Chain A
Amino acid sequence: MPGAMLLILLPIVATLLLRWFRSEKMQYILLATTVVLLSATALKLYFGSAVLTFHFPHWLELFIVIADLLLLLYFLWQGRRFDRRIITLLAVIQLLLYGWAESVLPEEGGAEVVVDALSTFMFLIINIVGGIIVVYAVRYMSYEEISEEKKRLFIAYLLLFLSVMNAVVVSNSLLLFFFLFEMTTLASYLLIGFRGDETAQKNALKALWMNQIGGVVILLGTLCAIYGYDTTRFDALTGSVGGTLLLCVSLVSMAALVKGASIPFDGWLLGAMVAPTPVSAILHSATMVKIAPWLILKLSPALGGTGVGLLLSTFGGFVFVAASYLALSRTVFKEILGYSTIALLGLMMALAAIGTPETSILTMVLIFFHALSKAMLFMTAGVVEKLHHLKDIEDMKGLIETAPKSARFILFGFVSLTLPPFGLFIVKLFAIEEVSHMLPDHPGLFLLLLSILIGSTLLVLLYFKVTAAILSRPSDIVGLGHEAMPSGFLLPLAILAVLVVFTTIRLAAVQQVADLTLFFVPIAMLVLAPLAYRWMDRFDRVKCYHCGEKESFDAALYYYEPTPKIRVAIYTFFTLLFVSVALTGALS
């Protein structure tokens, strides 16, 4: 238990210490120590692989109840303050439901906190990837024009977020999970609204009410579990059979769809782009949205093979396709990354909801590699924004010449998200294999299979459209420019890149599929191709062909904008699908 305790408490301690660490150097020392300690603990727990349980003492339970009430009242106040009726309404509903749940709470023995293999795996991502992002944020914030006090506050928020996330993934009680879920909602509300301007405020409030829907369905699920099975424990609930089990599980898993920003709730995650980039990085890669696949994985013993599980799988598959499609109309780099996160989260939830051991492992591998690659991409987006003042992919044309280092990190990020032999590719490959394998017994999975096939090609189209903008060069008669990247940016990015390569090799070694080695050959060719550059000097350099014109031409990128009608149809369809999850749960 001390390990998990350390993970939760250490970020809080570091937050408190941050007051006295005023210079940048001191902050780096403090944060680096914290992150190294966190990562080491996470690694130790991961390889320790013992299941630990912990039962809360009475005072701690009381503390959580009070904190929960305060939190909901804070939301209520925010709703009143900004005159948003929906936030007020949802806060009142949650207060009522929470009071009801607390009043009928059964006496039970099971542990509130369980550290199992899934939790230790999530620790790895949260602490290593999240930690790297926190360290990166120091340099990023030094470019912001705000007071030193506020910069430290920002770092403190990020650290607290890590602490809350570490607590989320070990919670085994539905009510404790509800509290922590609301805490992450609070964290995202504060971080998105950090800049304090009008759009930031608007998007923060949007994130707030959307996430509150998640809180409501968790409470409904909790009540269902209390009345049906006399329990609020995850393991007791997923271990039960018959009755209204599917209704309870489907209600709780709807919270995952909200947190995972599945369409129709994609608005809040896209709105998070107004915050400083480390927020996007940490929301998209290590924390927050990863609650969604984690929750489905946690519930997967009860979901596997049921109608609700199938519906969730199909839902995830559809989100994978629709989000990839919607991304094709975007021009802002971070929004494109955001939609691809939503798409891949859909795939994660789809695989998790199938509920076999194989698909669970695939989901975990997907979560891991997605966290690494997305963190790298978002951090690079931040670097490009701060050093070169570019946000739009149309402006990023020829980035390889002006900013070769950033461009290479972006390219590596995209390659690791799509091409063999990297993790995400392997997962998609095995997912297709696995689903085709299950198809004769579960014909319902056909729609998921189709979604994976179409969605992954759409994502290829998306990523390489952006690559296009970055790579294009008129000639190489003069070499690439030099980009001075501060080590506060370069080091975290380099560490992530090394991690991607290292874990990919490890994954391939673990898989022990000899066939996969053939996938290393093409990537080796691409890596070795620059060796031939010197030999290429013998060939004449010439201009691009533009029908003999002397003017320089440039092709714009392609965008595929859905018509308003199609957009409305997509959102209506997904809203109906979202509601039907609960209906399916109630009917089966």
Chain B
Amino acid sequence: MKWLAQFRKKSPWILHYNAGSCNGCDIEILAALSPRFDLERFGIVNTGNPKQTDIFLVTGPVTFHSRERLVELYSQIPEPKVVVAVGACTSTGGVFRGMYNVEDGIDRYIPVDVYVPGCAASPQLIIDGIVQALSILEKKNKAIEKPFRLFGGIKRIGKKISRLTMAKRIGEEK
């Protein structure tokens, strides 16, 4: 299905998740979607539903409570998918780096394809990040991508592949 792959970058649908961000980057993402920057001209839709998503936009340094949800949302996105870490906190932990209650960036939990710098990342940078992500998306295949931590494994029950336990609870990790 090589021919179909070219349409991936013509219709990227995004899911935006706030993993404990200060809302600075979130507002910039929404600004990018607004009529002024008009992300829709690339066919981008903010679905809010992981099951119909191609690009996972994450903001924030991953707080304690957002870990489970981050992995859960990630594992509910069908492949091929790309993850864009928006903003400094999301990429490295930013000003929160080293604090006891945050995780220093999302790449400890899930594979990240594009890092967008900035505090807060400007709409132009975000759009550029998404465009970079699209070229990565085009090259990906449909193999199941796994989170690094809180990964519960993929089970095969009968002939069915179960992704029900792909994300674990925090307490279940050890």
Contact = CB atoms under 8 A, between A and B. Distances in A.
A touching B, CB within 8 angstroms: yes
Interface of A: 475, 477-478, 537, 540-543, 545, 547-550
B159 to A, nearest CB: 4
A477 B72 contact: no
Contact of B169 (A537, A548, A550): A550
B159 A537 contact: yes
B105 interface: no
Interface in B133-174: 144, 157-164, 167, 169
Nearest to A474: B164
Given A541-B164, A545-B51, A477 B157 contact: yes
Given A542-B51, A545-B49, A475 B164 contact: yes
Given A477-B157, A478-B157, A537-B158, A550 B164 contact: no
Per DSSP, chain A at the interface is loop
B76 A545 contact: yes
A477 B160 contact: yes
A542 B160 CA distance: 11
Contacts of A541: 160-164
Nearest to A546: B72
Given A540-B144, A543-B164, A550-B68, 9 more contacts: A477-B162, A478-B157, A541-B162, A541-B163, A542-B163, A543-B72, A545-B51, A548-B17, A550-B72
A548 B68 contact: yes
A143 B157 CA distance: 39
A548 B71 CA distance: 8
Contacts of A548: 17, 50, 68-70, 72-73, 76
Contacts of B167: 550
B164 A537 contact: no
Contacts of B49: 545
A550 B171 CA distance: 12
Contacts of A547: 69
* Top 6 A-B residue pairs of the complex, sorted by shortest distance between their CB atoms: A548-B69, A537-B159, A548-B73, A548-B72, A542-B163, A540-B161
B127 to A, nearest CB: 25
Contacts of B72: 543, 548-550
A547 B49 CA distance: 8
A545 B164 CA distance: 11
Contacts of A475: 164
Contact of A545 (B50, B157, B160, B169): B50
Kindly name the residue among A478, A540, A548, A550 whose own CB sees the greatest number of chain B CB atoms within 10 A.
A548
Q: How large is the interface on B (under 10, 10 to 19, 20 to 34, 35 or more residues)?
A: 20 to 34
15 contacts: A477-B160, A537-B158, A540-B144, A540-B161, A540-B163, A541-B160, A542-B164, A543-B72, A543-B76, A545-B49, A545-B76, A548-B50, A548-B72, A548-B76, A549-B69
A550 B161 CA distance: 19
Per DSSP, chain B at the interface is mixed
B76 A542 contact: yes
Contacts of B169: 550
B30 to A, nearest CB: 18
Contacts of B160: 477, 537, 540-541
Nearest to B159: A537
Contacts of A545: 49-51, 76
Contacts of B78: 540
A414 to B, nearest CB: 29
Interface string B66-93: 0011101100101000000000000000
B132 to A, nearest CB: 25
A184 to B, nearest CB: 55
A545 B69 CA distance: 11
A537 B162 CA distance: 10
A550 B165 CA distance: 10
Nearest to B167: A550
A40 B169 CA distance: 65
Contacts of A542: 51, 76, 163-164
A540 B164 CA distance: 9
A545 B163 CA distance: 13
A548 B76 CA distance: 9
Contacts of A540: 78, 144, 160-163
Contacts of B68: 548, 550
Contacts of B69: 547-549
A549 B78 CA distance: 18
Kindly name the residue among A475, A478, A545 whose own CB sees the greatest number of chain B CB atoms within 10 A.
A545
A397 B134 CA distance: 43
A549 B161 CA distance: 21
A127 to B, nearest CB: 48
Nearest to B164: A543
B63 to A, nearest CB: 13
A353 B170 CA distance: 68
Nearest to B72: A548
Nearest to A534: B159
Contacts of B158: 537
Nearest to A475: B164
A158 B72 CA distance: 58
A542 B158 CA distance: 15
Contacts of A478: 157
A29 B100 CA distance: 78
A549 B76 CA distance: 12
B20 to A, nearest CB: 13
A477 B157 CA distance: 7
B159 A477 contact: no
A550 to B, nearest CB: 6
A549 B164 CA distance: 13
A550 B66 CA distance: 11
